[in-house]
Amino acid sequence: MALVLFFDGECGFCSKSVLRVYELDPGGVIEFAPLQGVLAGKLGLRKYADKGGGSMVILRESDGAMFTKGDAWIELGNALGGIWAALASAFSLFPKHARDWAYDLVARNRYRLAGKGNACAMPGEGLRKRMRG
């Protein structure tokens, strides 16, 4: 099951999060694409990079399902497996509005947490192979 994690490529917090997910996914189940990229544009996802509280988007390629906010955290945890899947399972017990509230709190403060850049840091070769346009 391949997943594509779309992220705000101008957000330091988001770029650092992508590096962490990459490290946690040695099997290469997850690929990455910036919300400012061509693929995100084709899929109409650029709106999720909103500076006021953007959202990562997960695309599950096997069935085309899309997940945002708290649901994206759950899908990501399930894809990573192990303790992350257990945490995702526990997080899914909270009502959707509570999960999305927690996500929005982090999203609204992401530039304060790690800054904003004009571009994300250059990824290593392994991560570059898993980046999409």
DSSP 15-49: HHHHHHHHHH-TT--EEEEETTSHHHHHTT-GGGG
Predicted pLDDT of residue 46: 84
| Tokens 């904003």 found at | 116
Q: What is the rounded CA–CA span in Å between residue 55 and residue 49?
A: 6
Mean pLDDT, 10 residues at a time, over the chain (133 residues)?
83 83 90 90 85 75 89 93 95 95 84 60 68 72
Q: What is residue 92's predicted lDDT score, i.e. its pLDDT? A: 96
